[in-house]
Amino acid sequence: MDCVVESDGMHYEGNCIRPPSEAYSILLQVTVGCSHNKCTFCGTYKGERFRIKDDKIILSDILFAAQYMKRQDRVFLMDGDSLIIPQKRLLWILDQIREHLPWVRRVGAYANAKSIKMKSPDELNTLRERGLGILYLGVESGDDETLKKIHKGTNAENLINMGRKVREAGIKLSVTVLLGIAGRERSLEHAKATGRLLSAMDPNYVGALTLMLIPGTPLYEEYEQGRFVLPDQRGFLLELREMLAHTNLSRGLFFSNHASNYLPVKARLPKGKQEALDLIDGALSGKIDLRPEWMRAL
C-alpha cells in the first residue's frame, strides 16, 4: 500500500508493506525501505534509500497508538527489514511498546538472512523476552541457482541455518516462498529444492505466493526480452504440488491462500498434507475451479 505522512496521526512514508496475517496489527514504521533492496523481482523500495526513522517520530507513533489503537493487540514493525536495527535501539523500541502499549501480546517484523546473522543467539533470546514473537523471512526458493539469479544475496544452506537460529531462540518463524520465481525452465527443480529447504528449516508457517511480474524491475525486463518465461496455470499447480510433496514439517501450516495464487490451499502439516495434495490434483484434473485472472493481486 502507498503511504503518506499524517501530521495528526501515524507517520508513514514510501511504500508500506506488511504480511497478510498482520492486517489488523498496529503498523509501526521504524525503518524506511529495505536493507538489501537488490532482488530482481521486487519493485517495492526501488529508489528508496534504507534508513532507520528518528526515535522521536517512532515514540510519537507509539503514543498515538496508545491513545487510539487500544483494541489492537499486535504490533508489526515496518518496513522491509526491521531486525537490522542495532540491538540497543531495537530494544528501546520494544521497551517503549511494552511501556505505552501494555495490552500488546506480540510484536512482529520482517527479517532477512543478513540481519538474522548479525544477531547473536543471546540477542535473539533477549528480543523474544522483550516481546518480539514472530519474524517473517522471505526465502523465495531453496534452489541455489535461482537464488543467485534473483540476487537474493544468500544461499539455501545459509537460509536454513538462519531459520533454525530464529526457531532455537523461541521466536516463531513465518517463511514466504515464490511459485514461478525460477521460471518455466527450472520450475520443478525449484519446487523440490524449496520443499527440502522448508523441511530442513521447519518453520511454523509457510506462505507460498505466486510471482506477479512488476514493470520496472529487472525480472520484468528479462520477461519482456524473452529471457524469462513464466509457467502457465497448470505449471504453477504442478510446481505447488511438487513443493508441498517435498515439504515435511514437524508441526506447521502451509498456505497458498494469498490473493496472487490460482488455488487457495491451507494445510496443517503433517496431518493435512495428503488432503492438500488431493485438492491440487483435483484442480489439475479440472474438477476444481481456479481463481480467475482478474481476481489475482499482490
Cα separation of 177 and 65, whole Å?
32
The predicted pLDDT at position 298 comes to: 55
Band of pLDDT at residue 262, cut at 50, 70 and 90: confident
| Domain coordinates in residue numbering, the chain | 1-111, 137-298
Specify the pLDDT at position 1.
43
Q: Which three cell numbers stand for residue 86?
A: 542495532
Q: Which residues pair with 27 in a beta bridge?
A: 76
**Mean pLDDT for the chain overall:** 92
Is the per-residue pLDDT at 270 higher than 70?
A: yes
pLDDT tens for 98-107 read 999 999 999 9
Whole-angstrom Cα distance, residue 73 to residue 53? Answer: 23
- Least trusted range by pLDDT, from 47-51, 111-115, 120-124, 215-219: 47-51
What digits encode the pLDDT tens for the residues 141-185?
999 999 999 999 999 999 999 999 999 999 999 999 999 999 999
pLDDT given at position 253: 97
Mean predicted confidence (pLDDT) in 77-88:
93
Burial class of 226 by CB neighbour count within 10 A (0 to 12, 13 to 18, 19+): exposed
Element containing residue 217 per DSSP (H, E): none
Beta-strand relationship, 266-269 and 252-255:
antiparallel
What pLDDT shows up at residue 264? 85
Instruction: Domain 137-298: give its CATH code.
Output: 3.30.750.200
Q: Using a pLDDT cut of 70, give the percent of the chain over it.
A: 96
* 282 confidence band (pLDDT: 50, 70, 90): very high
Residue 283 predicted with pLDDT over 60: yes
The residue-averaged pLDDT of 92-101 equals: 98
Residue 257 has pLDDT above 80, yes or no: no
Strands 2-5 and 11-15, how do they pair?
A: antiparallel
Contact yes or no for 40/149 (Cβ under 8 A): yes
203-237 residue pLDDT tens: 999 999 999 899 999 999 999 999 999 999 999 99
Is it the case that residue 6 has pLDDT exceeding 60?
Answer: no
- Name the one residue in this structure whose C-alpha cell is 504453477: 236
pLDDT at 295: 65
Confidence of residue 294 (pLDDT cuts 50, 70, 90): low
Report pLDDT for 63: 96
Q: What's the pLDDT score for residue 7?
A: 43
Average pLDDT over residues 252-274: 89
pLDDT of residue 297: 65
Mean pLDDT of 253-259: 84
Ordered alpha helix ranges (H), the chain: 55-68, 87-100, 113-118, 121-129, 144-149, 156-168, 187-201, 218-224, 233-245, 273-284
- Residue 138 CB coordination number (10 Å): 23
